[in-house]
Structure 1
Amino acid sequence: MDFYLKDGGIRTHFPYGELDISGNENYGYRPFQLMVASVAGCSGSVFRKILEKKRIKIDDFKISAEVKRKPDEANRIESIDLHYVVKGVHLDREKLEKSLEIARNNCSMIRTIEKSVKINESLEVIQLSN
């Protein structure tokens, strides 16, 4: 990856498009936002693949992320709370929890930062009617 100086920040190019990064939201994504998005995106993608492999059908899921930072330590990320809301018909909470645990163990982003950032996960299951 190559990164280039631009007004107010840094830019990089990917096959999918350009990414602008800056400490100022007026010029691009803030680095902490990208870190949290990487963790949630990786975890969610791995979780989805596991559900597909286990043939667990869901209608939808959403991940919400809450971030705690330490202002006195360069505003580093102290913890990320990921809350998964899974919707579907006849969902087995225990199977979903096991799948989420497997996803955590196979998410490269969580595994990379788990010794320096506390990652908490919670699961909400919404049963839809037929």
Structure 2
Amino acid sequence: MEFKMREVGFSADFEYGELHVAGNEEYGFRPYQLMVSSIAVCSGGVLRGILEKKRLEVEDITIQASVKRNEEEANRIESIAIHYVITGNDLKEEKVDGAVKLARKNCPMVRSVEGSIQITETFEIKN
């Protein structure tokens, strides 16, 4: 990856398109937004794959993420709460709970921040 300085922030070209990153969200995605997005979407993608392998009928997954930052520590991310809203047919709470726990163990982004950012996951099922 190569990031090039812009008037405000940096940019990088990727296969999908150009990414703009800046401390001011008028000029690009803020770094903490990208970190939270990476963790939430990676975790959700792993969860989706596990649910499919378990042959559970999932129609939709919405991920809600909330972040707690510490202003006294350079505004570092202290914790991220991930809440999955999973819509499907005949989904059982114990099976989804097992899949969420397995997804946590297999998400490279979650595993990368273990010990420095507290990650919690909750879910609700809409049948």
- For normalisation by structure 2, the TM-score amounts to 0.98
How far apart in 1 are the matches of 2:57 and 2:8?
A: 44
1:100 match:
100
Name the CA distance, whole Å, in 2 between partners of 1:89 and 1:17: 36
Offset at residue 126 of structure 1 (A): 1.2
Partner of 1:23: 23
Name the CA distance, whole Å, in 1 between partners of 2:114 and 2:69.
15
Letter in 2 for 1:56: L
Q: How many residues align?
A: 127
1:16 deviates by: 0.4
- Paired residue for 1:74? 74
CA RMSD of aligned residues (A): 0.6
What residue ranges of structure 2 are gaps of 5+ in the alignment? none
CA distance in 2, matches of 1:53, 1:125: 18
Residue 116 of structure 1 and its aligned partner are, at CA, apart by 0.2
Specify the alignment match of 1:38 in structure 2: 38
- TM-score by length of structure 1 reads 0.96
8 Å contact from structure 1 (residues 7, 27) kept in 2: no
| Residue in structure 2 matched with residue 58 of structure 1 by the alignment | 58
Contact in 2 for aligned 1:78/1:117 (Cα 8 Å): yes
Contact kept? 2:63, 2:84, Cα under 8 Å? yes
CA distance in 1, matches of 2:32, 2:11: 16
Deviations 1:84-120 (A, max 9, x none): 0111121111000100111000000000002100001
How far does residue 13 in structure 1 lie from its aligned partner after superposition?
A: 0.7
- Paired with 2:13 and 2:47, the residues of 1 have a C-alpha distance of 28
Match of 2:126 in 1: 126
The equivalent residue for 1:12 is 12
Larger mean CA deviation between 88-97 and 28-37 belongs to 88-97
Deviation at 1:7, TM superposition (A): 1.5
